[in-house]
């Protein structure tokens, strides 16, 4: 059975979508892997002479063991955010006549062969060889290297247990961060010297191989606990819930004043409230509001007024950025049903625009207390809010149109990159850095007030020009419910409205209709 699993894993690896990506991306991934391997190898080889030179009176071997505690904390945090148990890849095996126990053991064994488990060995083994060459006891050094391997595997399986216990929480990372922070603080302030405890424990095991039974038993215990948890959850229908709860329906009558977009806004608000992933957008509002406290109390940034635009864009637009970049991916679960209704895409986009604009206004009002640090900061936040409404809303909707990935709304949000593509990273530059660049340009060439005026004028132009043009031409052309057609038509029609209409009345309509026909034919083909 193991041979069969390995053969399937080999085929899955070379037939995976990773190899279907661009050659440049594959080369980049290989480069990063080789880079980290090289860094760990060089670190392992150079660690002993560097420590010997920096601390000639201390034993480098003892110094390294003193940092094992910090390595455990850092490794555990990194694995929690980036390493997931490969469960989804083996679910097709559950339809075959294979024992569930065999599948579970295969999943756990596969996790032990992760690159994150091998990477520390590229530093541990060279460092151990250097120790042997420097005259350290061979058996002690070999046992020490084996202990480091056991610690790595212990962290690996401990991470999966922590994930399973916190999977149902929206802020699942908070307990781990709080626990590690407390341990770090206790050690840092010498209340409890965990670094010394771990160091002595590792050295004791290295000097007495019989004590290897302790980390081995701990590893076996964690493996069996993971086995029990995974065996109980590894079903094809494990995501289905048998228990039902009473649904609390909110009227949301206040949204009716927004007219035809009210039903869409109600859907968005209910989606945010009832699901883990979008609910994180609300929780991040607190982070965004407190973002300014990292900069404004610092006297250094008081002499950098051009930086206020960047902070203002982030503070007033945290919901806009986090929620808007996944439009229409939020509705991927029922998007086809939604588009089959007798509704216009104009109302759909207008509802998103309205919701994001309201969030900007609310966040600006909540950020008014920043006036404590100066009236110029409040002016910068006001200009940033106007710019967010008039420009960044359109930018983020345009960027979201290139996202074809679906989103599982019930997955936790912390360090969850599902639905995130290259466009989400690229769109961050015009969102955040473009207004800062515009503000800085006017600030250094003229004065602070001109930078405020520039962002405000651009925002007002976006509100009064782009939004109205979008509404007018969407009604004229009866835009089909295809996101790419909408965005392409909006851009071209807006440009023609600004440039062509004053001179060639009616020509833009013909050009836009022909373009629409071409785009639709390409989509059909």
The model's pLDDT over 276-310, given as tens digits with 9 standing for 90+, comes to 777 776 777 777 787 787 788 777 777 777 788 88
Are 218 and 291 members of one domain? no
318 occurs within a structural domain: yes
- Secondary structure (3-state) at 240: coil
Cα–Cα distance for residue pair 168/170, rounded to 1 Å: 7
Cα–Cα distance for residue pair 246/248, rounded to 1 Å: 6
240 occurs within a structural domain: no
- Give the pLDDT confidence score for residue 339 in this predicted structure: 67
Are 383 and 296 members of one domain? yes
Cα–Cα distance for residue pair 436/380, rounded to 1 Å: 11
Q: Let me know how many helices (H) and strands (E) the chain has, helices first.
A: 26, 0
Domain stops at, among 478, 496, 513: 478
Which residue, 512, 470, 513, 492, is CA-closest to 346? 470
244 occurs within a structural domain: no
User: Worst-scoring range by mean pLDDT, 281-290, 307-316, 486-495?
Assistant: 486-495
With a cut of 80, say whether residue 410 has pLDDT above it: no
Cis preceding-peptide flag for 328 (omega within 30 of 0): yes
Are 24 and 60 members of one domain? yes
For residues 310 and 432, is the Cβ–Cβ distance under 8 A? yes
- Give the pLDDT confidence score for residue 504 in this predicted structure: 36
- Residues whose CB is less than 8 angstroms from the CB of residue 25 and which lie 6 or more positions away in sequence, other chains included: none
Are 327 and 193 members of one domain? no
Are 99 and 229 members of one domain? yes
| Residue numbers of the domain that contains 24 | 2-233
Are 391 and 494 members of one domain? no
- Residues whose CB is less than 8 angstroms from the CB of residue 461 and which lie 6 or more positions away in sequence, other chains included: 390
Are 296 and 372 members of one domain? yes
Give the residue carrying structure tokens 């050009």. 511
250 occurs within a structural domain: no
Tokens of 140: 């002690």
Tokens of 111: 């996790």
57 occurs within a structural domain: yes
For residues 473 and 489, is the Cβ–Cβ distance under 8 A? yes
Mean pLDDT of all residues belonging to the chain: 75
Cα–Cα distance for residue pair 416/170, rounded to 1 Å: 12
Bigger pLDDT: 515 vs 188: 188
Give the residue carrying structure tokens 């989804």. 88
Cis preceding-peptide flag for 264 (omega within 30 of 0): no
For residues 465 and 390, is the Cβ–Cβ distance under 8 A? no
Confidence of residue 416 (pLDDT cuts 50, 70, 90): low
Left (φ > 0), alpha (ψ -120 to 50) or beta: where does 374 sit?
left
Bigger pLDDT: 462 vs 425: 462
With a cut of 70, say whether residue 469 has pLDDT above it: no
Confidence of residue 204 (pLDDT cuts 50, 70, 90): very high
Residue count (the chain): 525
Domain stops at, among 446, 463, 478: 478
249 occurs within a structural domain: no
Bigger pLDDT: 167 vs 389: 389
Are 260 and 273 members of one domain? yes
Q: Structural domain tally of the chain? A: 3
Confidence of residue 147 (pLDDT cuts 50, 70, 90): very high
Tokens of 168: 């149902």
């Amino acid at each position: 059975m193991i041979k069969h699993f390995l053969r399937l894993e080999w085929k899955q690896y070379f037939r995976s979508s990773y190899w279907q990506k661009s050659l440049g991306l594959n080369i980049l991934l290989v480069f990063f892997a080789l880079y980290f391997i090289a860094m760990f190898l060089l670190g392992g080889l150079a660690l002993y002479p560097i420590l010997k030179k920096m601390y000639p009176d201390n034993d480098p071997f003892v110094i390294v063991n003193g940092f094992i505690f910090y390595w455990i904390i850092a490794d555990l945090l990194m694995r929690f955010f980036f390493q997931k148990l490969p469960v989804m890849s083996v679910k097709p095996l559950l339809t075959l006549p294979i024992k569930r126990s065999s599948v579970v053991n295969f999943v756990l064994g596969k996790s032990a062969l992760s690159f994150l488990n091998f990477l520390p060995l590229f530093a541990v083994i060279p460092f151990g060889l250097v120790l042997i060459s420097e005259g350290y006891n061979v058996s002690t050094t070999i046992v020490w290297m084996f202990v480091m391997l056991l610690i790595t595997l212990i962290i690996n399986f401990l991470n999966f247990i922590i994930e399973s216990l916190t999977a149902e929480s929206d802020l699942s990372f908070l307990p781990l961060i709080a626990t590690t922070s407390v341990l770090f603080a206790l050690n840092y302030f010498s209340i409890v010297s965990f670094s010394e405890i771990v160091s002595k424990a590792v050295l004791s095991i290295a000097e007495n191989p019989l004590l290897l039974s302790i980390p081995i038993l701990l590893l076996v215990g964690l493996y069996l606990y993971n086995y029990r948890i995974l065996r109980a959850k590894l079903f094809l229908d494990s995501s289905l819930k048998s228990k039902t709860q009473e649904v609390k329906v909110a009227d949301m009558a206040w949204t009716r004043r927004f007219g035809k977009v009210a039903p869409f806004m109600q859907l968005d608000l209910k989606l945010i409230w009832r699901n883990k992933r979008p609910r994180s957008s609300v929780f991040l509002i607190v982070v965004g509001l407190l973002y300014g406290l990292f900069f404004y109390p610092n006297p250094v940034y008081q002499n950098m007024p051009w930086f206020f635009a960047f902070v203002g864009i982030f503070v007033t637009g945290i919901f806009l950025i986090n929620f808007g970049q996944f439009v229409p991916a939020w509705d991927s679960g029922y998007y086809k049903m939604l588009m089959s209704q007798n509704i216009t895409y104009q109302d759909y986009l207008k509802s998103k625009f309205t919701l994001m604009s309201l969030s900007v206004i609310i966040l600006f009002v909540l950020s008014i207390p920043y006036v404590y640090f100066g009236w110029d900061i409040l002016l910068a936040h006001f200009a940033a809010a106007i710019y967010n409404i008039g420009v960044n809303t359109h930018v983020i909707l345009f960027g979201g149109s290139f996202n074809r990935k679906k989103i599982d709304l019930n997955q936790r949000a912390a360090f969850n990159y599902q639905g995130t593509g290259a466009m989400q990273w690229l769109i961050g530059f015009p969102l955040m850095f473009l207004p800062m660049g515009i503000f800085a340009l006017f600030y250094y060439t003229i004065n602070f007030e001109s930078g405020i005026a520039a962002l405000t004028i651009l925002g007002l132009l976006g509100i009064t020009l782009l939004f109205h043009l979008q509404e007018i031409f969407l009604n004229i052309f009866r835009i089909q419910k295809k996101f790419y057609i909408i965005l392409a038509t909006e851009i071209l029609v807006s440009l023609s409205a600004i440039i062509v209409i004053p001179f060639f009345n009616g020509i833009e309509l013909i050009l836009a209709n022909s373009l629409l026909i071409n785009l639709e034919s390409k989509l059909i083909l």
